[in-house]
Amino acid sequence: MRPRIGIPAGRADGSADAAFRLGADYVLAIEAAGGLPVVLPAGEGTGRPEEALRGVDGLLLAGGGDIAPDLYGEAPHPQLGWVDPDRDRWELALARRALAAGLPVLGVCRGIQVLNVADGGTLYQDLPSQLPEALQHQQKAPRWHRSHPVRVEAESLLARLVGAGELAVNSFHHQAVREVAPGWRVSAAAPDGVVEAMERPDLPFALGIQFHAENLFTRDRRFLRIFEGLVEAAAARGRHAEAAVLAEVWRGEGVESLHRGHGAVVSAGGELLYELGEPAFASSMRSAAKPFQAMVVLESGAGDEFAISDLELAVIAGSHGGLRSQVALVEGLLGRLHLDRSALVCGPRPPLDAGARRELALAGESPSELHHTCSGKHAGMLAAALALGAPASGYAEADHPVQRRARRLLAEVAGVEEARLGAGVDGCGVPTWYLPLERMAYAYARLARPQELPEAHRASAARVARAMLTHPEMVAGPGEFDTALIQASEGRILSKTGAEGLLCLAIPERGWGMALKEEDGERRALYPAALALLEQLDLLGGRALRELERWRHPVLRDSRGKPLSEVRPVPRWTPSARSLEG
């Protein structure tokens, strides 16, 4: 979901029947930056600022009329223009609340003045009379025309967005910042000394600009970067939105701890059906990206060239436990590539499966790269590299053709611009990407219903899903949740866990995808919550739930095996009915 940017608006002329006024270019700039504009009108019936800001991820204070001088302890100047007391009170309340909460905020023209007054600064009420040596700051030219330069200070937030040094801007104001509010620093000024930008370094994004970037961004992309900075900061803050309780941990007669998280159920048509906490919560996909990385292997031509079987494909798309049968499949594929385990950059790691670890120890063997839970994925990537005619060395680097294809495919399947994918490095050394949970759910819904994908991805998605559902023992292994859920559901639910408390599901019979994230990165509540949520949606019945009892109601025991506490899932879906496209 796009970050929601609140934009306050006042009445056009203060009369009771006047329309609310907001320049269209502010809305267009936020939309161009990837945000969703939300108008917050001022008036006698305006609600509390905390209620208004609870529904947005960032705040944009737009241009407009003068600010009443009594709000910063001065009498009205003879040249003071028209003021709107309702708008003043509303915007100052919003600004103070946003700054106190660390909400990303951008002020434009009047907006920079609101921010300054909100934090204790003062204004020139009329520049021509109070600063006679000032430039003309009310230009007689189109709004896109740039009438004077400003000097952007190095090492400032504004410099990171538009660059340091001289910047030509437009100018439409007769008021300006006079005494800068405590805690703020000037980051740009005009040749006459008038403050053209200021920011609060102690906050993630708190910026005021005196010029009208919303009128300039279509002609110079540097001005769009200002709005993109606001939207990006809002998106980052959205990752820390209020979470829902997934499970309670009971010890004796009381709740000892809580686990919180977020979730989303999305249809293959792109409709958010159910939500939990904040469905736009962004997380790295980690191993939950493996089915899509496996699609890249097939689309590279490696599936045909190296005769990759469905069993091998399930290991490539899964996180195996290091069982002998799983390791043999990886080793066999490497043999057909004329490579050995030294080509795998994941490094050696003991098997996840306890039985496989014991078997290896009894044989006097050391763990190798083949036993790493991600060795199947790595072998698949090597196969893709060779099929594409790319070098096998460096296949894990972000700029390698295999990784560039994986990034592009995931963006297309999730329905986002590739540039919006956050990047990181997985525990096995290859790139991983950040997506909102609702977009992960959408990707899994389309994996469940490949006909909803672009034609280029349909065959690979269908085959990956079939391999995982037909060979669940290769997706993880005995005693692992992914394998157990696929088996207990008799292939009706495809399950793939990712590190740091992430679970993604594809439900082919309904064309749904589900993503669930335990916010603390653990898994103690993840599986009980997932099963409770599946039960609420009538996707699992009694027999399947009985087979999954150890994950449904886990019991924590002491060193003698005596029960001490239990994990009780408590999440409830909230029905939704909106499109991911807004």
- With CA atoms as reference, report the closest residue to 114 among 33, 184, 55, 169: 184
**What is the C-alpha separation between 16 and 255, in angstroms, rounded?**
53
Which residue type, as a one-letter code, is found at position 26? Y
CA triple 110-115-121, angle to 5 deg:
105
Task: Give the CA distances from residue 538 to residues 23, 151, 240, 542, in Å, rounded to whole numbers and listed in that order.
Answer: 48, 62, 30, 10
**Given the residues 137, 148, 173, 212, the one annotated as active site:** 212
Query: Who contacts 3 (Cβ-Cβ below 8 Å, separation ≥6)?
Result: 34, 35, 36, 57, 58, 231, 234, 235, 238, 280
Dist CA 273 CA 577 (whole Å): 5
Beta bridge partners, 494, equal 506
Q: How far apart are the first and last CA of the chain?
A: 8
Contacts with 254 (C-beta within 8 Å, 6 or more apart), sequence order: none
C-alpha dihedral sign at 298, 300, 301, 303: negative
Among 109, 346, 374, 504, the one annotated catalytic: 109
Give the Å distances, CA to CA, from 227 to 38, 177, 239, 542: 15, 21, 19, 52
Structure tokens that stand for 229 in this block = 């900075």
374 is catalytic: no
**397-410: string of b/e by CB count within 10 Å (b at 16+)?**
eeebbbbbbbbebb
Classify residue 291 by burial, with Cβ atoms within 10 Å: 0-12, 13-18, 19+. buried
Catalytic residue among 196, 214, 312, 369: 214
**Strand pairing category for 555-557 and 563-569:** antiparallel
58-61 and 105-108 strand pairing: parallel
Residue 473 is a catalytic residue: no
The pairing of strands 58-61 and 4-11 is: parallel
Catalytic annotation present for 109 = yes
CA 347 to CA 368: how far, in whole Å? 7
445, 573, 550: which is closest to 488 by C-alpha?
550
- H/E element holding 100? helix 85-101
In this structure, are strands 165-169 and 58-61 parallel, antiparallel, or unpaired? unpaired
Structure token digits, residue 16: 């009771």
| Amino acid identity, position 442 | Y
443 beta partners: none
Catalytic site positions = 109, 212, 214
